[in-house]
Amino acid sequence: MNIRTLCLGFLSMQEASGYEIKKELESGKFSHFADASFGSIYPALTQMQAEGLLTVRSEEQSGRPDKKVYAITEMGLVALAKNLSVIPARDKFKSEFLFEMLFQKFLSKEHMDLVIEKQHADLTEDLARIEEKRRSNEHNNLGEGPRFVMGYGECIFRAAIGFLEAQCPRLKKSKNQAAE
């Protein structure tokens, strides 16, 4: 799945500028399984607008550069549906963390502790983000899609955190301290 499809998908849920898409990709519903940089988002939006998949509207802002708000068109929706109709490629999971753990015999105790703690912190942050989203949206009922994706993420992050804490009991202690 390329950046074009990613942007189309995003814009099928809400209008947004390139800047907003990038920010939401970092912290929103997509954050744990997709991302992109400005250098790829901006050209993609310009291009798709030229192709008629999107419309633009310039929003003036006091003391800020104009914001270009993009919205998806009928043609854009058709393109999105088409891109979604292929069998997805196998998940790609790249983990430098696991790579280092595999070769932990070359690592110092201090480095390993640091690395494991970082991994635990990252996972906890990811999980917290999902749970926050869930809480903030529990009044307006989410669609099936977002609910499924959040559930999936929640479930694997919980499992990974559980594994780390089972392997390194000290992680659990610091968690309890934080809760007090």
CA distances from 1 to 47, 84, 130 (A): 17, 9, 22
> Is there binding between residue 73 and DNA (CB under 7 A)?
no
Contacting its own copies (CB under 8 A), which of 39, 61, 64, 93? 93
Neighbours of 70 (CB within 10 A): 24
By CB neighbour count within 10 A (0-12 exposed, 13-18 middle, 19+ buried), where does 49 fall?
middle
Distance of closest approach, residue 173 Cβ to DNA, in angstroms: 31
Task: Choose the stretch contacting DNA; rule: CB under 7 A; options: 43-51, 73-81, 103-111, 138-146.
Answer: 43-51
Q: Dihedral of CA 101/106/111/112: which sign? A: positive
Distance of closest approach, residue 42 Cβ to its own copies, in angstroms: 21
Residue 88 interaction partner, one of its own copies, DNA, none, beta carbon < 5-8 Å per kind: its own copies
Query: Can you give the binding site for DNA, defined by CB under 7 A?
Result: 2-3, 17-20, 23, 35-40, 42-43, 45-46, 61, 63-68
